[in-house]
Amino acid sequence: MSETFIPQLQELAKSARMLALVGASIKLRSDASVAPAIREQIDAGARMALGDVVDVTDEEQLSLALVMVEMALSEASELFRNPDRGSNWEILDVAAMQAMGRASKSVFTRIQSIAETHLGMRKTFHGTFLDVGTGVGGIALEAARLCPDIRVDGIDIWEPALELARQNIAESPYADRVSVRNLDVSMLDEDRRYSLAWLPTMFLKRPIVEAALDRIARAFVSDAYLVAGVYSRPDDPFLALMSSLRTLRSGGEISDPADIKAMMEARGYVDIGTSATPIATFVFGRLP
């Protein structure tokens, strides 16, 4: 009998379901409406996958875990359904866009964490935040939720995502502090408006990143902070391949944080640092 890869596929399929069970178990901690028998099975499956560590109560770790689960499952599903999609972020699936928006909220949580040891960045939370590539508004709304004195301008060029962003903002308590518009960051034409900006370079070609950095610098007030992101590249060969593929399919081409650091230094940024998570690496700096 010829060899088959079905047993390996069965193990991979098992892993995918285990990942889903872990995410479901964490979500159900704040939902008492599920039938006890179903919840018991979900929790039991999560413990089979992770053991007793699934009972961790650290909110930051649980939040990161949910982001990792949702991103992995959403990315895997989209890749399987649309393997022929080109190098862009022109996604039409509403559920996928909203899932990415929920996952992206952790970006601002990380920015807040960075600010805990960079006091100058804390001051930017009382100004106006530029959210480049706002998508469905996940980061923008999280910024407004966490910082009551901040105002947010979100820009993007993908109108289907912006339609969802406008809906999400209208349904939120923050519609008076968050706005979005269809604008390419390389065409940004503001002058001394922003105290903080998020630039997701993983969605942008190198020339656009260069142009964006110039435009954002002109739009900054004194001592503003830029936070730029690239997908983290793990040592594991398979995960490194996925990181590279994720960048390419998102429309980006920069994968080395050192490239972003060099671009920022060339434009006069100081106090440049990095902060890495399993998903993304943040390069940040202050423009005097």
pLDDT tens-place string over residues 242-251: 989 989 888 8
Query: How far is Cα 213 from Cα 218, in angstroms, rounded to an integer?
Result: 9
Q: What's the pLDDT at 153?
A: 98
Residues 6+ apart with CB under 8 A from 128: 150, 151, 152, 153, 193, 194, 195, 196
Listing DSSP states for the chain in one string gives ----SHHHHHHHHHHHHHHHHHHHHHHGGG---S-HHHHHHHHHHHHHHHGGGGG---HHHHHHHHHHHHHHHHHHHHHHH-TT--SS-----HHHHHHHHHHHTHHHHHHHHHHTT-HHHHHGGGSEEEEET-TTTHHHHHHHHH-TT-EEEEEES-HHHHHHHHHHHHTSTTTTTEEEEE--GGG----S-EEEEEEEGGGS-HHHHHHHHHHHHHHEEEEEEEEEEEE---SSHHHHHHHHHHHHHHT-----HHHHHHHHHHTT-EEEEEEE-SSEEEEEEEE-
- At 106 the pLDDT is 86
CA distance 154 to 180: 4
Give the pLDDT score at 272: 97
User: What does the alpha-carbon distance between residue 267 and residue 212 come to, in Å, rounded to a whole number?
Assistant: 12
Q: What is the C-alpha to C-alpha distance for residues 23 and 34, in angstroms, rounded to an integer?
A: 15
The number of beta carbons lying within 10 Å of the beta carbon of residue 25 is 22
Predicted pLDDT of residue 101 = 82
Residue 202: which of 122, 283, 82 has the closest Cα? 283
Q: Tokens for 59?
A: 């909110």
Residue 201 corresponds to which tokens in the numbers above?
């370079």
In the block, residue with structure tokens 């080395």: 256
239: left (phi over 0), alpha (psi -120 to 50) or beta: alpha
pLDDT by residue, tens only, the chain of 288 residues: 457 888 899 999 999 999 999 999 988 887 878 888 998 999 999 999 988 877 777 777 887 788 788 888 888 888 898 888 776 667 777 877 887 888 788 899 999 999 999 989 999 999 999 999 999 999 999 999 999 999 999 999 999 999 999 999 999 999 999 999 999 999 999 989 999 999 999 999 999 999 999 999 999 999 999 999 999 998 899 999 998 998 988 889 998 999 999 999 999 999 999 999 888 999 999 999
CA distances to 35, 85, 96 from 100, in Å? 28, 17, 6
pLDDT on residue 1:
43
